[in-house]
Amino acid sequence: MNPRAVAVAGATGVVGRQMLKTLEDRNFPIKSLKVLASERSKGKTLTFKGEEVPVEVLSEDSFKGVDIALFSAGGGTSKKYAPCAAKDGCVVVDNSSAWRMDPEVPLVVPEVNPGDIQKHKGIIENPNCSTIQMVVVLKPLHDAAQITRVVVSTYQAVSGAGSAALNELAEQSAAVLNGEAGGHSVFPHTIAFNCIPQIPQKDAFTENGYTSEEMKMVNETKKILGDANIRVTATTVRVPVFNCHSESVNVETVKKLTADQARALLRQAPGVIVEDDLDNQLYPLAVRATGKWDTFVGRIRDDISHPSALDMWIVSDNLLKGAALNAVQIAEYL
Amino acid sequence: MNPRAVAVAGATGVVGRQMLKTLEDRNFPIKSLKVLASERSKGKTLTFKGEEVPVEVLSEDSFKGVDIALFSAGGGTSKKYAPCAAKDGCVVVDNSSAWRMDPEVPLVVPEVNPGDIQKHKGIIENPNCSTIQMVVVLKPLHDAAQITRVVVSTYQAVSGAGSAALNELAEQSAAVLNGEAGGHSVFPHTIAFNCIPQIPQKDAFTENGYTSEEMKMVNETKKILGDANIRVTATTVRVPVFNCHSESVNVETVKKLTADQARALLRQAPGVIVEDDLDNQLYPLAVRATGKWDTFVGRIRDDISHPSALDMWIVSDNLLKGAALNAVQIAEYL
């Protein structure tokens, strides 16, 4: 691959920093690097491959001469600047949800639908974190047995809500351990030693009673797997975990797959590691997945409540495979 | 109700202490009280209604003249001593899982199957904590629409694993916040800021890949609801929450129930409080349910993946409705 001129927009955020680290860790061939952020971060520097890179203020002119821009700056910023970048001939990989369900914009997980990348018209969308790790595991099962329905409950880490959320969990936890109440401003309720069945923490509401995060899992799964007949229901829950999302997933298929057959398929699947030995207390764990590029799956069982279904437990680093890594992998395909 | 001679076996444990507190809080009519524990607790005293009660060592002769004994002392202790108590004319309400699936022994949640209490032959079983709170909510739905299948994922607090587990979560959390690793002895892995898809922490394994906790939810639900045709699959997960279990529950029914109809039914259901107003960020929360006698349900939605199913979120105090309170309620019926 020829070295590229790369920009990272929203570079000072939790995911933006992970994007820089992932470009570095995967030795992405870079000709030039721009790190872009809002006015607030003016004067800051970020480190890339041991060198200080000054943060530039994101503007409509930021993308001239840039080949690939990774965006992780929120939907509003993407909507404003990604089209400018695309107009200047830059390909945007966007981590916001701005155009995820736009039929003109590919929504890509490279292990699942790499072919969709080439259909882009300047913008490629990175799916939602909780969807990515699920579809990486669902893909080989769908290919082998045709998934009809998915019932998923998530156990989502706070890192997806940014650095203020990480601080809130740490500070609140310390307060509770010291017998104090601890305030909250990021999350709608105490997250320390609690589970909150609402994601995102603001503007979560949709008309059918699902949260927007839940509807992302419903709709994005169909689009990425390229099958509008897959029915999904999701309950997305924030848990007091710093990083890595866990998911309890029930999968119904047309063709009966045994747990053994599913394990065999998943052992061959790209980006998937099977950790499934309950006798030896081996199964995916959030604390062990941090910093890993793979998605981990275990507790794979023949669902005893259904003639053709499986239960499983899926864990991945929501900042990496769920965000930064998936975006960099898309960029690698470009 | 005439005052009764009551004994609590396993009185020094987390649930035993809650049993004493619940007898006190509900003003259970007590003629005499024995608090029983193992040799290890000899010499200790416990407080009941402001008075110190000396702990007696549990023996085969402990139950002479006792009318009702609440057991929370583990399966082995129940197996050894509950039959002795029953032989002496005492009625045992047992919180272990020793005889839960014995067809001769009633398994009772008073809001659901109070009629089964009178079938006892000296021993009545208290169901598993994660099952109790679920069936309290399922009962009115089953009566109205006939449940065919349940897919449940749990978010279970550590208090169910005893006082050492509460200490382990607190100490590990403090260690992690201080940048240390923190050891573990109660749980098979770090529980602080992590989710462990294995309950119980020891001897969890069954032949079909489910844990014993999961199989309790599968089998006890059928027995309590008195319908062997209800199919259940469960994934039970320990989360870093001190007290109160949360559950994400998908319920399929023969007759279509809308979310509105389900809410209306549940508002009338004994022991159930509907907290369901997502726009105002109102839904059941573990931190708010501690110390409460009710089971809380919210996030009730028409499942968009199925023609006749509902999603919901159920929270209750696992030490109270999940253990001590349910046992005392059974004793009240006696």
Distance between CA atoms of residues A209 and A222, nearest Å: 20
Q: φ, ψ for residue A192 (rounded to 5)?
A: -60, 125
Backbone Cα Rg of chain A? 20
Residue A304: closest C-alpha in chain B: B233
Summarize pLDDT for B165-212 with one digit per residue, the tens: 999 999 999 999 999 987 899 999 999 999 999 999 988 888 999 999
Chain A from 168 to 187: CB within 8 A of any B CB: 169-170, 173-174, 177
Which one of A197, A209, A286 has the shortest CB-CB distance to B194? Answer: A286
User: Is A142 a known active-site residue?
Assistant: no
Quote the pLDDT of residue A2. 87
Quote the pLDDT of residue B205. 87
Domains along the sequence of chain B with CATH:
4-126+324-333 (3.40.50.720), 131-318 (3.30.360.10)
Please indicate if any CB of chain B lies within 8 Å of the CB of A71: no
Quote the pLDDT of residue A74. 86
User: Does residue A52 contact residue A45 with C-beta atoms inside 8 Å?
Assistant: yes
Eight-state DSSP code of residue B106? -
HSE-CB of A233 using CA atoms within 13 angstroms: 26
Quote the pLDDT of residue A182. 77
- Interface predicted TM-score (ipTM): 0.96
What is the mean predicted confidence (pLDDT) over B301-319?
98
Closest approach of chain B CAs to the CA of A277, in angstroms? Answer: 9
Distance between CA atoms of residues B1 and B22, nearest Å: 17
C-beta neighbour count of A121 within 10 angstroms: 11
Overall pTM > 0.90: yes
Please indicate if any CB of chain B lies within 8 Å of the CB of A306: yes
Among candidate residues A84, A90, A129, A244, the one labeled active-site is A129
Most B-contacting residue of A180, A184, A187, A194 (CB-CB within 10 A), to test interface: A194
Distance between CA atoms of residues B213 and B200, nearest Å: 6
- Helical residues (DSSP H) of A226-324, grouped into ranges: 259-267, 286-289
User: Is A129 a known active-site residue?
Assistant: yes
HSE-CB of A153 using CA atoms within 13 angstroms: 27
| pLDDT tens, residue order, chain A (334 aa) | 789 999 999 999 999 999 999 999 999 999 999 999 999 999 999 999 999 999 999 999 999 999 999 999 988 999 999 999 999 999 999 999 899 999 999 999 999 999 999 999 999 999 999 999 999 999 999 999 999 999 999 999 999 999 999 999 999 999 999 999 878 999 999 999 999 999 999 888 889 999 999 999 999 999 999 999 999 999 999 999 999 999 999 999 999 999 999 999 999 999 999 999 999 999 999 999 999 999 999 999 999 999 999 999 999 999 999 999 999 999 999 9
Summarize pLDDT for B20-73 with one digit per residue, the tens: 999 999 999 999 999 999 999 999 999 999 999 999 999 999 999 999 999 998
Quote the pLDDT of residue B103. 94
The pairing of strands B51-57 and B45-48 is antiparallel
Chain A from 251 to 270: CB within 8 A of any B CB: 259
Amino acid at A76: G
**Interchain CB distance below 8 Å, A237 and B197:** no
Burial class of residue A300 in the structure, from the number of CB atoms within 10 Å of its CB (0-12 exposed, 13-18 middle, 19+ buried):
buried
